[in-house]
Amino acid sequence: MLSLLKILVDGGVKVGNNLVIDGFDNSLFRVITHIHSDHVISLDRSISIGSNLMGTALTIEWLKVLKSLPNNYKLIPLNYEQKVKINDMKLELVKTCHIPGSSQVKIELSDGVILTYTSDFKKPGTETPIIESDVVIIDAVYGRPGYVREFDEYIEEVLADFIKQLLSEGPVYIYGFYGKIQEVMTLLRDYGIEAPYIVPLKHYRLCRIAEKFGLHFGDYVLAGTDEALDIMKDDWYIYFSHIGRKISSLGNHVILSGWEFNKPFRRINSRSWLVAFSDHADFKGLIKYVVESNAKIVVINKPRSTGAEEFARYLRNKLNINAYVYP
């Protein structure tokens, strides 16, 4: 069954002759599990050769904003667990807890063998369904045994409480990637934070689309507008921005990152903090997915993993699971 599978140098997963997931080659069909840049790599090349692009409806709509897809291009939006046939394979997208619209990919071969590509995920077994599979292809982002966050189960509450505390001192600027921003916007509302949100144009457009798919953000306005400038006079607001783009020297600044394992949050300088809010399972979460999938074979996607060889050795030596690192 591994003869049908290939991991590309860009991290794409090639299955059979005409299907590639989150990478580029000359396949007729390309599945996009979510909109993060490492999973839409070389999308322009896929478009140039006429590949059909498949993903959840939200992912497809977000791509139209982020990648300026040509009008009337061959886009195939899929519902979760909607089965489609590609040659002699059956494919379906299964929900993951990562960012809105994200998915894992389940493929049933003609002989009944099940291959699953997890893509990025967190909260396996609760908010990310674990698919029983013969072969699991996994992105081991935190593949080293030391990459464990003991506070993962309550980091959402920590983040919300911390933002409430910072808001009592003035405005808060929060930095993250596309999708993670929208996730946190809804999370803070769920924890009762009512401060108005200010968001830059692309994030604003993503929010408008996401609302059509059932996400709720409360009051938010477009950065740079008169309304936003009026709000900023009161010093009680949350300004969301893409990571790496500092907006102001005012207020407190919070960077969302999973690359912190010792504390839920830590101070960077007098007005900047890092909060260990990750959208990827830690080492324990990766192991949980693999074990509960009952996979006979595990393939670690090396370009999208950290400590891929260590992860494979752990599976082989500690759990007696056949594990391979590709490419």
What pLDDT is recorded for position 248?
A: 78
What pLDDT is recorded for position 109?
A: 96
Residues 174 and 244: their CA atoms lie apart, in Å, by 11
Instruction: Write down the pTM of the prediction.
Output: 0.95
Q: Is 226 exposed, middle or buried (0-12, 13-18, 19+ CB in 10 A)?
A: exposed
Start-to-end CA span in the chain (Å): 16
Single out the residue of 310, 303, 306, 307 nearest to residue 326, CA to CA.
Answer: 303
The 10 Å Cβ neighbour count of residue 311 is 27
What pLDDT is recorded for position 35?
A: 97
The one-letter amino acid code at 225 reads T
User: Going by DSSP bridges, is the β-strand pair 29-31/135-138 parallel, antiparallel, or unpaired?
Assistant: unpaired
Return contacts of 205-211, CB within 8 angstroms, 24+ apart. 205/65, 206/62, 206/65, 206/66, 206/178, 206/179, 206/181, 206/182, 207/182, 209/58, 209/61, 209/62, 209/65, 210/58, 210/62, 210/100, 210/182
Sequential pLDDT tens for the chain (327 residues): 688 899 999 999 999 999 999 999 999 999 999 999 999 999 999 999 999 999 999 999 999 999 878 777 889 999 999 999 999 999 999 999 999 999 999 999 999 999 999 999 999 999 999 999 999 999 999 999 999 999 999 999 999 999 999 999 999 999 999 999 999 999 999 999 999 999 999 999 999 999 999 999 999 999 999 999 999 999 999 999 999 887 777 899 999 999 999 999 999 999 999 999 999 999 999 999 999 999 999 999 999 999 999 999 999 999 999 999 999
Single out the residue of 262, 287, 290 nearest to residue 276, CA to CA.
Answer: 262
* Residue 182, CA distances (Å) to 100, 208, 257 in order: 8, 10, 15
Domains and CATH numbers, the chain: 2-146+281-326 (3.60.15.10), 152-275 (3.40.50)
